[in-house]
Amino acid sequence: MPQTATAQPEKKPSRIQLRNRRKILDAALDVFSQHGFRGATLDQIAEAAGLSKPNMLYYFDSKEAIHVALLNALMDEWLAPLAVMDPDGIPLDELLAYIDRKMEMSRAFPRESRLFANEIIQGAPRILQDLEHRLKPLFDEKCRLIRTWMEEGKLAPMDPGHLIFSIWAMTQHYADFEAQVQVLMPDTHAAQESARTHVAKMFRNLLSV
Amino acid sequence: MPQTATAQPEKKPSRIQLRNRRKILDAALDVFSQHGFRGATLDQIAEAAGLSKPNMLYYFDSKEAIHVALLNALMDEWLAPLAVMDPDGIPLDELLAYIDRKMEMSRAFPRESRLFANEIIQGAPRILQDLEHRLKPLFDEKCRLIRTWMEEGKLAPMDPGHLIFSIWAMTQHYADFEAQVQVLMPDTHAAQESARTHVAKMFRNLLSV
DNA sequence: TCGTGGCTTGACCAAATGGTAAAAAACATC
DNA sequence: GATGTTTTTTACCATTTGGTCAAGCCACGA
C-alpha cells in the first residue's frame, strides 16, 4: 500500500511510483475540475492518465483519496501568493503585487481554480477541515496586517476581509467562468490582457488613500 | 406527453400538472445546485420532490430535460436586474441600484446562483446556446449604454464589459462561495450586511467621475 | 541469471443509475 | 355510476460505476 498516508515506515517512493502518481493527479485535475467530484468517474481519470483502473487503485485507495490528495497537494501552492505578502513592504505595492500574482495564476492555472471552485460551491464537504486549519489562520493573519496598514493611514480604510474576498472574486472569475467570458468577449487573448489592467486599476483606485 | 415543448396542440396543463412540475423543478434546483448536473441523481430529485422516479419521468422526458427546463425557467429571472437598467436614469444611480439588486438576489436566491455557477464552471455544455442568444444581446446592449454614459462624462471611463464582469464576480461570490465565506467570517448575518455596504462603496468609488 | 517484490492486468462483482412497460388507481365527464 | 383520460405505482432492465482479487509480468539487486 504505497499510498497510505499513515505513518512511520514509509519507504521512499520509486521512480515508477512518482511518475504514475503524478500522471494520476494530473489526469484527476483535468477530470475533477471539469465535472466536480461526483460527476467525475474513475474510468475517465484512468483513461486520461493512461493507466488501467485497477492499476490506478493500486496507487490510491479510492476515488475520494485521489480527490483529497489532489486538493492537499495544491492547497499550499494556491495560497502561496497570499502567504508571500510582506509586512515590511510598501502596503499599496504589496497588495497590488498580490493581485497581479493572483491574476497570473488564474490565467496560468485555470484547472486548479475550477477544482477549488467546484469543491467550494458544492459545500466544500471534503476540505472544510483544510479551510479551517490552513486557510483561516492565513486569512486572519493577513487581515490583521492589512488592518494595521490601514490604521497607519497607508491604505484607504475598509474591511480587510471583504477586501480579500473582492480580490478573490475578481481574479478567479476569469478562470472559473471562462466559458461565459468567452461567449461575451470572444477575443480571449485581448480579454485576458485588458482584464489584468482593469482589475489592477480598480484596486489601485480603491486602495489609494 | 405533457412535457414536450414542441408546438401547436399543447393542451393547457391541469392543476396537478402545474403543482407537480413546480415541485420537481424546485427539488431539481436543490439537487442540481448542490451537486452539478452529473453529480445529481434522479432518485435524489424524486425524493426531494416527494414523487416516485417513474412519476417524475412522466412529467419530464429525462434528467437533461429537467435541467434544461430549470435553466430556461430561471434565465430571465436571473437577468432581470440587468435588463431593468434604465437608459434615461441617472447613470451612477442606475448602476448602483443594479449592483444592489444583484447583491439582494445573491442573498435571497443562492441556489439559483450556484446552479448557474456549476453549469458555467463545467463549461456550460447545456446552455451555451442560451448564453449566445439571450445573455449576449443583453450584455452588448448594456455595454453600449454604459459606454455612452462614460463618453458623456457621467461615469469614470473604463471597459464596460469588464465593469459588468466585476459586478457579477463580486455579487455572486457571496452566494457561490458561501461555504468558504462562512468559514472565514463565521457571523454570516453580519457578513452579509457588511458585504453589501462594502461592495456598494467599492463601486461608487470606482465609478464616480 | 535467477529470484523476489513491486507493478500491472483481466475477469469479475455488487450497488447505483437512468430509464421503460404495463397495470392499477384516481379523476373527470357525462 | 359507467366511461374515457390522466396520474401513479410496481416491477423491471441495461448500463455504468466504484472497487476487488488472483494471477502474471518485469525490473533490479544478489
A20 touches strand C (CB under 7 A): yes
CATH topology of domain A13-61: Arc Repressor Mutant, subunit A (1.10.10)
In sequence order, the 6+-apart residues with CB closer than 8 A to the CB of B187 are none
Q: What three-state secondary structure class fits B159?
A: coil
Grid cell digits, residue B203:
463601486
On chain B, the residues whose CB falls within 8 A of the CB of A128 are: 179, 183
A53 touches strand D (CB under 7 A): yes
With contacts defined as CB-CB under 8 Å, which chain A residues touch B158? 198, 201-202
pLDDT of residue A198: 95
For A170, name the nearest residue in chain B, comparing CA atoms only. B169
CA–C1' span, A99 to D18, in Å?
A: 41
Decide if B123 and A162 are in contact by the 8 Å CB cutoff: no
Q: For all residues of chain B together, what is the average pLDDT?
A: 92
CATH, range A67-207: 1.10.357.10
**What is chain A's alpha carbon radius of gyration, rounded to the nearest angstrom?**
20
| Model pLDDT for residues B136-176, shown as the tens digit of each residue | 999 999 999 999 999 999 999 999 999 999 999 999 999 99
**C-beta separation of A206 from A137 below 8 A:** no
Does the model's ipTM exceed the 0.95 cut?
A: no
CB contact at 8 A, B76 and B133: no
The whole-number pLDDT of residue A16 equals: 79
Residue intervals in chain A for CATH 1.10.357.10: 67-207
Write out pLDDT tens, residues A116-175: 999 999 999 999 999 999 999 999 999 999 999 999 999 999 999 999 999 999 999 999
Residue from B121, B132, B135 whose CB has the most chain A CBs within 10 Å, to mutate? B121
Q: Does B168 sit within 8 Å of A131, measured CB to CB?
A: no
Mean pLDDT in each 10-residue stretch from start to end of chain B (209 residues)?
Answer: 37 78 97 96 97 97 97 94 96 97 96 97 95 97 98 96 97 96 92 92 93
Confirm whether any atom of chain C, the nucleic acid strand, is less than 7 Å from CB of B40: yes
H helices then E strands: how many in chain B? 11, 0
Instruction: Tell me if B13 sits within 8 A of B21, measured CB to CB.
Output: yes
DSSP track, B11-40? PPPPHHHHHHHHHHHHHHHHHHHHHHHHH-
DSSP string, B123-144: T-TTTHHHIIIIIHHHHHHHHH
Q: A52 beta carbon < 7 A from strand D? A: no
Residue intervals of chain A classified under CATH 1.10.10.60 are 13-61
Position A12 scores a pLDDT of 62
